[in-house]
Amino acid sequence: MTVNLYLMTFVLALALLWFGPRPALAVRIVSSKRARHWALGLVSLVTLLAVSVAPVRADRTEADAVDSILPFRYAWVKHDESPVYEAPGDPAHMTPTRMLHSSMWVSTEREVQVGEDVWYRIGEEAYVQASHLWMAKPSPGMV
């Protein structure tokens, strides 16, 4: 966090020195308006990048960090025509409400165990068998 603070302070000081008011005898480093706008854009980009990279506190585990950033776990549908049911149970005795196609992403709200089958709730009255999904794991560098 201190590195970001130092970087932001440096960028702000640079912007103030570059674009701030100058005494009458000061030498202008950039004379064209286009170059000044380009430099202002570059300074703004660096500032936004410095602010957007906020590290996770060291006393939090990776699981806590992921849960605080992402409200749901995400899964990729691995089979074409994966059925979605109103409730978890025996698929042989239920009718699917819709079908999911392979390569789709879904958000899973919670895991439900029915007998030996695991189901994921993906919406209001929408459940998919776990065997039809690959659970995604966020990159360690992103949390």
1-45 per-position pLDDT tens digit: 555 667 777 777 767 666 666 555 455 555 566 777 777 777 777
Tokens (6 digits) for 69: 């950033």
Tokens (6 digits) for 13: 């000081």
The pTM score is: 0.50
Q: Does domain 62-142 have CATH number 3.40.109.10?
A: no
pLDDT of residue 51: 64
Query: Do 110 and 121 contact (CB within 8 A), yes or no?
Result: yes
pLDDT of residue 17: 65
pLDDT of residue 83: 93
For the chain, the residue count is 143
Q: What is the pLDDT of residues 54-85, one digit of tens each?
A: 554 555 555 555 555 666 788 889 888 899 99
Q: How far is CA 13 from CA 16, 26, 113, in A?
A: 5, 17, 57
What is the band of 143 on the pLDDT scale with cuts at 50, 70, 90?
Answer: very low
| Amino acid letter, 105 | W
Domain coordinates of the chain in residue numbers? 2-52, 62-142
Query: Do 107 and 122 contact (CB within 8 A), yes or no?
Result: yes
Query: Do 84 and 97 contact (CB within 8 A), yes or no?
Result: yes
